[in-house]
Chain A
């Protein structure tokens, strides 16, 4: 080895000297970066902050789906899955599992806190008016509550931070930020979210309800009433939950005049061209299942279309034109992705356990949503819902493999109706729950004759349980069509047979709603919360443990691992370690 020469020493010295000489250059304010102090000047800046928050929120899509589905019973790992996913699947999460880290949630929460604090300053400084402030502040505050609800669901005891912090790692300091139990967290979230000044959606004409890059942005934002309904449902305040859900269910009634939107928006009603029914070209001929229209299109329909608007309450787009990249294609797709998760055998068995409404004799012995939610690509079962904008349903190939467009599904009308039904059922309104989830109001309250004056409705019930689904028929005199006359139950829409309830309506219907959630909303990121909520409510850990056990046993994992997962969940050890 050579010794350092004088020349080399001189060069290093010179480099150091030149660096220090540059210091003044660095002191100049950058021209392409905005300093925080200047970021909030007017309402457009506030809009940019809201969009920024949601943009970052989309980065949570993968973790959200993995936590909410892979921990439950409908998604399974594949041969490609890494150790982190396998841990989530078998409930053996160790530290440093990136999917089990609350850090990304807290980073976004701190961003929300920061934005909220700045909004308050802006309204004080008259940089936006009261109305603009109310809309934007409420949106971000609600989103923060949603994030906390997610944290509570998955981590149990979590610190509730609403102040601005610069460093996310401070949250870990249990001395400063006490971890509060899930149940107490719900109280805080309810009181905080109830006080937000604006609970509607952004009005059209607002800078946040417009069309950008070909996307109508109205469905980008959290629905605050749904969130409040959820919080009350978790808390066990079913009356308030039903009240808020009902307000959303009536959105079409208040927002539109008589017409297709009025009767079908969030009402699970039929509408010309956008039925979202499971149907067959010729009823009874199983080879004529309709793919290019109906139920499958729920997941493919375009932003701004009636199909999307009437079905979806909250859905965010992934597009190759803007960031972030579509993490869900990576997660689900064997084409252009890594195929890290697949539909479990359990969910196939659930679909196969259903029978369809009879046609040409008896029934087709499975739920056709199986064929519309999944696909076999190259011999591999693929959960397709997130991929229909990328992989062609007919060919099983991606026409433009590098354009990875798609959607992150968060909430749609079937979630809404089932959660409303869950609350109603708990309040003893079993038949209303049956009508919404199974056969529709007309079937639940059938008229013995053509005079339906006193039938097809629940108007004798107080709000929020008073539905009017009366329909005089074409020849009825007087001729009338009530607000809910087009409503059809979730199971009726999916062409599967109605529930037969013989005894113990409460528990039979509640279990039925949760099962229907699997059949209808599989992979959409709500399964684990559904199972956990009922397990907590009934104080019955087997409700979640047995289902996870069934999945693991059927997945071919060792019986020991499946039993271990069951034992862990039976011991109410439902939460992930709060570590990062």
Chain B
């Protein structure tokens, strides 16, 4: 008991002692943590106001209300153009509140970007939802003349040129009178209502299927095919190069490609052809005029020949660049590519014979590489087939090749390729232990097929040694 009291009092004393220690130290701590740098007492607005070179910019800040923002406590980088850079600003911008707001917002970033820390080309987000490219003491075309002046809420970079708030590629295409009419009209015609349940309102459940019933109008979005299938040219964060053909050139390209996309009606022929012409015209790399190569590879593997003398106009946009071309002669051989179908990736079979189907891993003695193929053996079905669905096949002549490995029996056997069905066929003799590509034959597609069915067809026999199917891959080479 005695011990316990002593311990308690000791604890108390020790606590007192440490408290005292703390309090005696507090003065030192205060001094160390004090903000002594007067620059940090200021806001960015103070810095801008203090510089007479930035008086015009300050005036615009006040006019647009951004003065209150850069006085606030979050961190910003303000790229302030000097007065001389703003003297030539289009009065149409100055006098339009919305345009001016977007213009000023294009000079303020909601983060600190110190010139020494932005060594790599960086796309930085601005307050008007657009992006500017910054690298070291350069932002877009402007030079940072007075760098990294800091205030309590960020950095001030003084620049020698204004940063115009540009349209993005899609805005240019849809709004600007410089955009060639025919290509523009076609691209704007690609708006479709597409099912999208993200924001749909469920109003009931179908009692038969159990599927939800959506309120009319909420279950789809109005969107452009080009955005979904090629590139969404509205995205500000990425950068694109968009080629637009002047009307005559557009017509020439479409006319040239009409025979390759033959359909049942003239309208759909034009539609499919135009789509296949235009789908290659946007790439998600920005090619500056001085650095554009003579061939640009599209998303779909098409080589676009870029003749610099055919560039009629170059338009810089907020997310890339648009070239208006008087001519762009894309070769059919470059647009219509060979098709390779992997044997093991079939879409359907005539009868379920998975138990006789072998996905085999093998070593190809010709290529020196491993491969996977399909073998259907001892399936006991006459005219057994595997079907391959190939999307968007143009109306051209194709030559068919295949690698089919017969390493399981010494007798050769015959399998067939069914073209669009199992009536029209090409025969392929499969000799033992052949690892190289074998030419099968050619066929002509008279019409463009949204989905082309290719069949690998076995012999009209139920004998195991006669009716096997085996295939590493089938290659269709367009004959142009």
| Proximity bits, A274-297, B CB within 8 Å = 1, else 0 | 000000001011110000000000
Are A282 and B355 touching (Cβ within 8 A)? Answer: yes
Q: Which residue of chain B lies nearest to A12 when distances are taken between CB atoms in the complex? A: B17
A506 vs chain B, min Cβ distance (A): 30
Among B325-333, B369-377, B417-425, the stretch in contact with A: B369-377
B17 interface neighbour in A11, A282, A355, Cβ under 8 Å: A11
* A-B interface pairs (CB < 8 A), number: 59
Name the CB-closest residue of A to B12: A11
Structural contact, A14 and B13, CB atoms closer than 8 A = yes
The reply to whether B363 and A286 form a contact with Cβ atoms under 8 Å apart is no
Given the known inter-chain contacts A284-B358, A286-B361, A366-B370, please indicate yes or no for A361 contacting B13, CB distance below 8 A: no
Q: Kindly state the interface size class of chain A when it binds its partner.
A: 20 to 34
CB neighbours of B7 from chain A (8 A): 18
Report whether over half of chain A's contact residues are helix, strand or loop; otherwise say mixed. Answer: loop
Across the interface, do A362 and B10 meet the contact criterion of CB distance under 8 Å? no
Which of the residues B13, B14, B358 comes within 8 Å of A360, measured between beta carbons?
Answer: B358
Q: How far is the CA of A355 from the CA of B7 in the complex (A)?
A: 78
Beta-carbon contact of A364 and B6 below 8 Å? no
A2 beta carbon closer than 8 Å to chain B:
yes
Distance from A370 Cβ to chain B, minimum over Cβ atoms (Å)? 11
Contacts of A360 in B (CB 8 A): 358, 360, 375, 377, 408
Closest to B369 in A: A365
Flag whether B129 is at the interface (Cβ < 8 A). Answer: no
Chain B residue numbers with a CB within 8 Å of A282 are 355, 358
Chain B residues bordering chain A, tally (CB within 8 A): 25
B-contacting residues, A1-23, CB 8 Å: 1-2, 7-8, 11, 14-15, 18
- Shortest CB-to-CB span from B98 to chain A, Å, is 47
User: Nearest Cβ in chain A — how far from B6, in angstroms?
Assistant: 6
A364-B360 in contact given A8-B17, A282-B355 (Cβ < 8 Å): yes
When the two chains form their complex, are residues B360 and A285 in contact, meaning their CB atoms are under 8 A apart?
Answer: yes
Question: CB-nearest residue of chain B relative to A280?
Answer: B358
Q: Is the CB of A287 within 8 A of B359?
A: yes
CA distance A363 to B24 in the complex (A): 83
Q: Are A366 and B361 in contact (CB under 8 A)?
A: yes
B355 touches A361 (CB 8 A): no
B405 contacts the other chain (Cβ, under 8 Å)? yes
Q: Is the CB of A364 within 8 A of B362?
A: yes
Given A11-B13, A15-B14, A18-B6: A365 and B362 within 8 A (CB)? Answer: yes
**B407 on interface, CB distance cutoff 8 Å:** yes
Do A285 and B357 have beta carbons less than 8 Å apart?
yes
Knowing A282-B355, A286-B372, A366-B370 are in contact, say whether A361-B360 is a contact too (CB < 8 A). yes
- Among A1, A11, A285, point to the contact of B359 (Cβ < 8 A): A285
Q: Give the residue name and chain of the A residue nearest to B372 (CB).
A: A286
B358 partner residues in chain A, CB cutoff 8 A = 282, 284-286, 360
How many angstroms from the CA of A557 to the CA of B326 in the assembled complex? 52
User: Which residues of the partner chain A approach B370 to less than 8 Å between Cβ atoms?
Assistant: 352, 365-366
Give every chain A residue within 8 A of B24 (Cβ-Cβ): 1-2
Q: Within the complex, what minimum Cβ distance (angstroms) separates A351 from chain B?
A: 12
Q: Separation in Å of the B412 CB from the closest CB of chain A?
A: 14
Residues of A within 8 A of B16 (CB): 11
The one of A7, A15, A361 that contacts B405, using a Cβ cutoff of 8 Å: A361
A284 and B373 alpha carbons, distance in the complex (Å):
11
When A and B form their complex, which 3 residue pairs have the shortest distance between CB atoms, in order from nearest? A361-B408, A365-B363, A361-B407
A-side residues, CB < 8 A to B, are 1-2, 7-8, 11, 14-15, 18, 282, 284-287, 352, 355, 360-366
On B, residues with C-beta under 8 Å from A are: 6-7, 10, 13-14, 16-17, 20, 24, 355, 357-363, 370, 372, 375, 377, 405-408
A-B contact pairs, 29 of them (CB 8 A): A1-B24, A2-B24, A7-B17, A11-B13, A14-B13, A18-B6, A18-B7, A282-B358, A284-B358, A284-B375, A285-B360, A286-B358, A286-B359, A286-B360, A286-B372, A355-B363, A360-B408, A361-B362, A361-B375, A361-B408, A362-B362, A362-B407, A362-B408, A364-B360, A364-B361, A364-B362, A365-B361, A366-B361, A366-B370
